[in-house]
């Protein structure tokens, strides 16, 4: 049997995936008769929901590329939400962002001291940071917001909004085209118009940060040093790279990004700091990072997919049926590819799962919303379980490195 | 002498950590203008009333089980972050089963416990399988499984008719019949009962100690944790040990929700306490996976949680205690690391001295022959 190979050039490959993706989406929309699956509103919301997840994932990339596994992202994000709420209602949204980034970075700095300098297990330290971040914000929130106008023990006064952009000249005609319901074309139009519909300034910053990260980590000598600390710190040290320094920098950046993710939740997602606002998004960010193979492009794609699933569920429960069908088509598609490539066992397992989803779609009148709730996590586990061959975390990720000790 | 020395050695790190966290907490309180001594004495007074002591015992029971579940994993270098998902799924299922079956009371309680252990082990078993068969780190898989468990629970309680309206606007599993409850005994305070599960937790602690220190399985477990390669060389099947450890950890994790379920709530609702797993991690670290150390850790944690209830009335946010707990965890792991390094250093120095002495002896005695 002829081997199915993917196009090699990166740009062509992305285009190829987009083409397949939109076609699949279109199929699902048509058969599930659920127009919202590719509406402007859904894509707009998806991008909005993807931003905090993606930023947390990007933070994960920085930290783990330098060899520090960071499950403390959640705690740093919580610190960010508080920073944004606290500074935001007093001095406006821009100071809020600065405060959130600083708070997240400070949390990360403590994490770095404990993991890098003292060489404590990174997972343990991350767990402690999550406990500490939660406790600290709850404590400070009570003191800071209880007597503030419009605030409460668990909620800050409102923060004024940041600018957001809608390019109506592009968004509106595309949105109209989307409503026509033409196969493929309408779905592509919905996707595109969503990109120009109520885009927050932080979203633009986030996109810039993704590009910047890809550039810094893979195209500069600084980035090479950071990654060498995560791949082989002993070799890096022997070549004169100060591994500790690069780990410190990378982990602090990681926390700053998690803090920014928190700022997004507090300023754009809602307009207040609220207890429990992060709702485990730090962990989902970690999942997108794994999904994206510890790379910015894949992580952005993962965050968008997770944001999309979340958006569907939040907009209308009837979307879940379409989502289930979409999942079924994707799973069966991947299963066919895998069997064609000789991975019979895994392919068959995925095919069965796809068939199960398909029959769930066909034979139940209403799919439960919980399907969308668990979809990101099940997806991550499936990716890990089936594609672990092609996933490659940094070689020294999570390894305790002590200066001067040989490997 | 050596025994006292050893005990001191063990106690140094936690004592350092607790002292350090007290200082940090005091500084934070002082920064916000609170009277430190008043805060601590209020906590002490409130926390030592008979009512509070009972509540502390009950809370510690739950924390203890959670910490033992985590510790079993730690003994083999497995990080079970999934206790949260395991106990919630287990408690929900146990609640549903106990609320549904019609059996003589005590028998129903036994069934509930077994079901909980089974479900806990099952959910942990998924992570074990993923680790052994697919090489997926249990840290990641258990985090994902926690969220999936939340989804499943929400589905069962909200969407199926297993869930009923227990209170106004609160859905949960049907109320467990009188006879199957382990509401406990009013031992210290006449009004509040000590959970029946308190005694089960003690039994779990004893079993944990015996299995770990007096059985082949425990030996293999510890060996695999200390040196996987050496354990494999001596014939321990590390994959099988991973699965067993994870299943055992999950089975104990399954019990974590039961003190509350059978002692106080009698129904698993969507408001059931959700974060005992992370508390367990913290306490297992503080207690160094030792059954007695964990007991002290659980009591300390429970004391802080219960006694802090008074603080909100005093105008001090009670979350100061969470900060304290966070600082304890962070500083205790740092302290253990420092103590370990210090020990290695002194050992090396001692060996160095001994060798130097021996060398000197050898060289003086061999001088004549040369």
pLDDT of res. A24:
83
Q: Is B322 contained in some domain?
A: no
Taking an 8 Å cut-off on Cβ atoms, the answer to whether B136 and A143 are in contact is no
pLDDT of res. B368:
43
Name every chain A residue with its beta carbon within 8 A of the beta carbon of B334: 114, 118, 120
Q: Is A303 contained in some domain?
A: no
pLDDT of res. A1:
44
Q: Is A285 contained in some domain?
A: yes
Question: Looking at this predicted complex, what is its ipTM?
Answer: 0.89
Q: What angle do CA A247, A397, B228 make, to 5 degrees?
A: 130
Work out the minimum CA distance from B322 to partner chain A, whole angstroms.
5
- Using pLDDT thresholds of 50, 70 and 90, give the confidence band for residue B285: very high
Question: What are the residues whose beta carbons fall under 8 Å from the beta carbon of B309, sequence distance 6 or more?
Answer: B46, B318
Name every chain A residue with its beta carbon within 8 A of the beta carbon of B81: 71, 123, 127
Query: Do residues A297 and A11 lie in contact, with contact meaning Cβ atoms separated by under 8 Å?
Result: no
Quote the mean pLDDT of chain B. 90
Assess whether A338 and A216 both reside in one domain. Answer: no
More confidently predicted of B362 and B55:
B55
Work out the minimum CA distance from A214 to partner chain B, whole angstroms.
24
% of chain B at pLDDT higher than 90: 58
Shortest CA distance from B32: residue in chain A: A143
pLDDT over 90 at A246, yes or no: yes
What's the mean pLDDT in B340-357?
A: 86
Task: Choose among A132, A134, A376: nearest Cβ to B330.
Answer: A132
> Which segment of A230-234, A310-314, B124-128, B247-251 scores lowest on mean pLDDT?
A310-314
Task: Report pLDDT digits (tens) over A137-169.
Answer: 999 999 899 888 888 888 999 988 888 887 777
Distance CA B262, CA B333 (A): 34
Work out the minimum CA distance from A180 to partner chain B, whole angstroms.
35
Q: Is A243 contained in some domain?
A: yes
Name every chain A residue with its beta carbon within 8 A of the beta carbon of B25: none
Assess whether A371 and A266 both reside in one domain. Answer: no
Q: Is B333 contained in some domain?
A: no
Tell me whether A364 touches chain B (CB under 8 Å): no
pLDDT of res. B80:
94
Taking an 8 Å cut-off on Cβ atoms, the answer to whether B278 and A119 are in contact is no
Q: For chain A, what is the domain count?
A: 2
Assess whether A246 and A378 both reside in one domain. Answer: no
pLDDT over 80 at B1, yes or no: no
Chain A residues 305-334 with CB within 8 Å of chain B: none
Name every chain B residue with its beta carbon within 8 A of the beta carbon of A139: 28, 317, 319-320, 322-323
CA B32 to centroid of chain Cα atoms: 32
% of chain B at pLDDT higher than 70: 96
Q: Which two tokens stand for residue A303?
A: 């965050």
Query: Do residues A41 and A96 lie in contact, with contact meaning Cβ atoms separated by under 8 Å?
Result: no
Tell me whether A161 touches chain B (CB under 8 Å): no
> Which segment of A4-13, A63-72, A359-368 scores lowest on mean pLDDT?
A4-13
Assess whether A103 and A227 both reside in one domain. Answer: yes
Q: Which two tokens stand for residue B182?
A: 């382990």
Tell me whether B192 touches chain A (CB under 8 Å): no
pLDDT of res. A180:
79
Q: How many CA atoms lie within 13 A of B165 on its CB side?
A: 3
Taking an 8 Å cut-off on Cβ atoms, the answer to whether A131 and B329 are in contact is yes
Count of positions (residues) in chain A? 407
Contacts across the A-B interface (CB distance below 8 Å): 129
Taking an 8 Å cut-off on Cβ atoms, the answer to whether A139 and B150 are in contact is no
Beta strands in A122-180 (DSSP E): 164-165
Q: Is A389 helix (H, G, I), strand (E, B) or coil?
A: coil
Work out the minimum CA distance from A12 to partner chain B, whole angstroms.
31
Task: Choose among B28, B147, B154: nearest Cβ to A377.
Answer: B147
C-alpha closest to that of A120 among B69, B7, B17, B63: B17
| Burial call A305-344: b when 16+ CB within 10 Å, e when fewer | bbbbbbbbbeeeeebbbbbbbbbbbbbbebbeebbeeebe
Taking an 8 Å cut-off on Cβ atoms, the answer to whether B320 and A377 are in contact is no
Q: Is A166 helix (H, G, I), strand (E, B) or coil?
A: coil
Work out the minimum CA distance from B104 to partner chain A, whole angstroms.
36
What's the mean pLDDT in A50-72?
A: 96
- Using pLDDT thresholds of 50, 70 and 90, give the confidence band for residue B150: very high
Instruction: Measure CA of the first residue to CA of the last residue in chain A; give whole Å.
Output: 45
- Using pLDDT thresholds of 50, 70 and 90, give the confidence band for residue A6: low
Name every chain B residue with its beta carbon within 8 A of the beta carbon of A110: 330
Task: Report pLDDT digits (tens) over B157-203.
Answer: 998 888 888 888 889 999 888 878 888 888 888 888 899 899 999 99
Q: Is A309 helix (H, G, I), strand (E, B) or coil?
A: helix
Task: Report pLDDT digits (tens) over B113-145.
Answer: 999 999 999 999 999 999 999 888 899 899 999
pLDDT of res. B123:
97
pLDDT over 70 at B363, yes or no: no
Q: For chain B, what is the domain count?
A: 1
Distances (CA, A) of A15 to A77, A177, A210, A283, B208: 33, 21, 19, 29, 57
- Check which CATH number belongs to the domain holding B54 and give it: 1.10.3470
More confidently predicted of A318 and A49:
A49
Name every chain B residue with its beta carbon within 8 A of the beta carbon of A142: 317, 319
Distance CA A315, CA A325 (A): 17
Taking an 8 Å cut-off on Cβ atoms, the answer to whether B326 and A385 are in contact is no
Distance CA B82, CA B136 (A): 14
Tell me whether A123 touches chain B (CB under 8 Å): yes
User: Of B28, B142, B147, which to mutate for an interface test with A (greatest number of A Cβ within 10 Å)?
Assistant: B147
Tell me whether B347 touches chain A (CB under 8 Å): no
Name every chain A residue with its beta carbon within 8 A of the beta carbon of B130: 381, 384-385
Task: Report pLDDT digits (tens) over A78-108.
Answer: 999 999 999 999 999 999 999 999 999 999 9
> Which segment of A118-122, A267-271, A276-280, A320-324 scores lowest on mean pLDDT?
A320-324
Q: Is A308 contained in some domain?
A: no
More confidently predicted of A138 and A361:
A138
Assess whether A276 and A344 both reside in one domain. Answer: no
pLDDT over 50 at B369, yes or no: no
What's the mean pLDDT in B216-234?
A: 88
Quote the mean pLDDT of chain A. 89
Task: Choose among B147, B278, B338: nearest Cβ to A280.
Answer: B147
C-alpha closest to that of B257 among B265, B247, B248: B265
Query: Do residues B67 and B208 lie in contact, with contact meaning Cβ atoms separated by under 8 Å?
Result: no
Tell me whether B329 touches chain A (CB under 8 Å): yes
pLDDT of res. B61:
97
Q: Is B348 contained in some domain?
A: no
% of chain A at pLDDT higher than 90: 48
Q: How many CA atoms lie within 13 A of B132 on its CB side?
A: 17
pLDDT of res. B11:
85
Taking an 8 Å cut-off on Cβ atoms, the answer to whether B154 and A370 are in contact is yes
Q: Which two tokens stand for residue A97?
A: 């962002």
pLDDT of res. B365:
53
Q: Which two tokens stand for residue B263?
A: 């002692």
pLDDT of res. B358:
72
Q: Is A393 contained in some domain?
A: no
Distance CA B253, CA B247 (A): 10
pLDDT of res. A407:
58
What's the mean pLDDT in A28-42?
A: 80
User: H/E element holding A200?
Assistant: strand A199-200
Q: Is B5 contained in some domain?
A: no
- Check which CATH number belongs to the domain holding A142 and give it: 1.10.3470
Domain range for A288: 39-176+183-191+198-295
Q: Is B305 contained in some domain?
A: yes
pLDDT over 80 at B100, yes or no: yes
Tell me whether B107 touches chain A (CB under 8 Å): no
pLDDT of res. B360:
66
Query: Do residues A370 and A39 lie in contact, with contact meaning Cβ atoms separated by under 8 Å?
Result: no
- Using pLDDT thresholds of 50, 70 and 90, give the confidence band for residue B361: low
Name every chain B residue with its beta carbon within 8 A of the beta carbon of A370: 151-152, 154-155, 159
Assess whether A286 and A340 both reside in one domain. Answer: no
Task: Choose among A125, A131, A385: nearest Cβ to B333.
Answer: A125
Taking an 8 Å cut-off on Cβ atoms, the answer to whether B147 and A283 are in contact is yes
Task: Choose among A125, A142, A381: nearest Cβ to B330.
Answer: A125
Distance CA B250, CA B244 (A): 10
pLDDT over 90 at B20, yes or no: yes
Name every chain A residue with its beta carbon within 8 A of the beta carbon of B154: 370, 373
pLDDT of res. A362:
85
Q: Is A60 contained in some domain?
A: yes
Task: Choose among B145, B151, B333: nearest Cβ to A121.
Answer: B333
Ordered DSSP codes for B154-166: HIIIIISTT-EEE
Taking an 8 Å cut-off on Cβ atoms, the answer to whether B147 and A135 are in contact is no
More confidently predicted of A48 and A27:
A48
pLDDT of res. A92:
92
What are the φ/ψ torsions at residue A161 (nearest 5 degrees)? Answer: -75, 155
Tell me whether B285 touches chain A (CB under 8 Å): yes
Q: Which two tokens stand for residue A140?
A: 């400070």
Domain range for B153: 35-315
pLDDT of res. B359:
65
Task: Report pLDDT digits (tens) over B240-284.
Answer: 999 999 999 999 999 999 999 999 989 999 999 988 999 999 999
Name every chain A residue with its beta carbon within 8 A of the beta carbon of B143: 71, 283, 286-287
Assess whether A19 and A50 both reside in one domain. Answer: no
Task: Choose among B32, B323, B334: nearest Cβ to A132.
Answer: B323
Chain B residues 137-166 with CB within 8 Å of chain A: 139-141, 143-145, 147-148, 150-152, 154-155, 159
Assess whether A235 and A254 both reside in one domain. Answer: yes
What's the mean pLDDT in A344-362?
A: 87
pLDDT of res. B356:
83
Distance CA A262, CA A72 (A): 13
pLDDT of res. B118:
98
Task: Choose among A136, A283, A384: nearest Cβ to B134.
Answer: A384
């Amino acid at each position: 049997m002829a081997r199915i190979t993917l196009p090699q050039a990166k740009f062509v490959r992305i285009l190829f995936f987009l083409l397949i993706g939109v076609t699949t989406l279109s199929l699902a929309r048509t058969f599930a008769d659920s127009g919202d699956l590719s509406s402007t509103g859904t894509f707009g919301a998806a991008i909005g929901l993807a931003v905090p997840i993606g930023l947390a994932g990007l933070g994960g990339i920085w930290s783990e590329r330098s060899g520090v596994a960071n499950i403390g992202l959640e705690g740093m994000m919580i610190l960010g939400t508080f920073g944004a709420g606290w500074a935001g209602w007093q001095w406006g949204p821009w100071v809020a962002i600065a405060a959130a980034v600083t708070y997240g970075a400070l949390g990360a700095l403590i994490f770095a001291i404990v993991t890098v300098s003292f060489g404590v297990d990174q997972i343990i330290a991350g767990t402690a940071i999550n406990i500490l971040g939660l406790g600290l914000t709850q404590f400070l929130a009570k003191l800071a917001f209880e007597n503030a106008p419009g605030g409460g023990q668990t909620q800050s006064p409102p923060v004024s909004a940041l600018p957001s952009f809608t390019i109506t000249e592009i968004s509106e005609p595309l949105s109209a085209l989307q409503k026509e319901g033409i196969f493929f074309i309408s779905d592509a139009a919905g996707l595109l118009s969503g990109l120009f519909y109520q885009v927050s300034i932080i979203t633009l910053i986030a996109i810039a940060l993704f590009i910047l990260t890809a550039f810094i980590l893979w195209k500069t000598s600084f980035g090479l040093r950071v990654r060498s600390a995560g791949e082989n710190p002993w070799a890096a040290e022997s070549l004169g790279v100060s591994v500790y320094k690069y780990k410190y920098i990378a982990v602090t950046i990681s926390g700053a990004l998690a803090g920014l993710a928190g700022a997004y939740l507090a300023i754009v997602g809602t307009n207040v700091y609220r207890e429990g606002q992060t709702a485990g998004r730090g962990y989902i960010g970690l999942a997108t990072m794994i999904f994206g193979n510890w790379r910015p492009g894949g992580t952005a794609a993962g965050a968008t997919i997770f944001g999309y699933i979340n958006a569907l569920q939040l907009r209308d429960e009837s979307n879940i049926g379409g989502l289930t069908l979409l999942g079924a088509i994707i799973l069966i598609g991947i299963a066919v590819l895998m069997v064609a490539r000789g991975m019979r066992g895994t392919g068959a397992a995925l095919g069965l799962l796809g068939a199960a989803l398909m029959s769930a779609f066909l034979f139940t009148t209403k799919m439960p919303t919980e399907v969308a709730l668990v979809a990101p996590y099940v997806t991550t586990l499936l990716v890990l379980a089936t594609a672990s061959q092609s996933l490659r975390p940094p070689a020294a990720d999570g390894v305790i490195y002590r200066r001067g000790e040989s490997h | 002498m050596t025994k006292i020395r050893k005990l001191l050695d063990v106690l140094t790190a936690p004592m350092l950590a607790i002292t350090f966290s007290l200082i940090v907490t005091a500084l934070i309180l002082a920064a916000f203008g609170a009277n430190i001594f008043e805060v601590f004495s209020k906590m002490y007074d409130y926390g030592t009333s008979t009512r509070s002591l009972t509540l502390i015992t009950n809370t510690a029971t739950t924390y203890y089980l959670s910490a033992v579940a985590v510790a079993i994993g730690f003994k083999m270098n497995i990080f079970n972050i999934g206790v949260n998902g395991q106990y919630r799924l287990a408690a929900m299922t146990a609640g549903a089963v106990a609320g549904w079956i019609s059996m003589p009371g005590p028998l129903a309680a036994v069934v509930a416990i077994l079901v909980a252990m089974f479900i806990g082990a099952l959910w942990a078993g998924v992570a074990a399988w993923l680790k052994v068969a697919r090489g997926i780190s249990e840290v990641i898989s258990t985090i994902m499984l926690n969220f999936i468990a939340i989804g499943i629970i929400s589905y069962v309680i909200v969407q199926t008719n297993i869930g009923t309206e227990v209170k106004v606007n609160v859905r949960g599993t049907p109320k467990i019949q009188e006879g199957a409850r382990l509401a406990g005994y009013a031992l210290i305070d006449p009004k509040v009962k000590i959970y029946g599960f308190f005694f089960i937790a003690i039994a779990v602690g004893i079993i944990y100690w015996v299995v770990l220190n007096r059985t082949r399985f425990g030996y293999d477990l510890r060996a695999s944790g200390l040196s996987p390669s050496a354990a494999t060389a001596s014939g321990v099947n590390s994959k099988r040990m991973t699965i067993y450890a994870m299943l055992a950890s999950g089975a104990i994790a399954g019990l974590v929700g039961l003190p509350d379920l059978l002692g106080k709530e009698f129904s698993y609702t969507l408001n059931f306490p959700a974060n005992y797993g992370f508390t367990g991690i913290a306490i297992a670290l503080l207690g160094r996976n030792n059954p007695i150390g964990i007991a002290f850790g659980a009591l300390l944690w429970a004391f802080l949680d219960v006694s802090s209830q008074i603080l909100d009335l005093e105008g001090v946010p009670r979350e100061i205690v969470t900060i304290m707990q966070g600082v304890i965890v962070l500083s205790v792991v740092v302290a253990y690391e420092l103590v370990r390094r210090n020990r290695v250093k002194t050992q090396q120095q001692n060996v160095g001295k001994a060798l130097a002495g021996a060398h000197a002896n050898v060289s003086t005695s061999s001088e004549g022959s040369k």
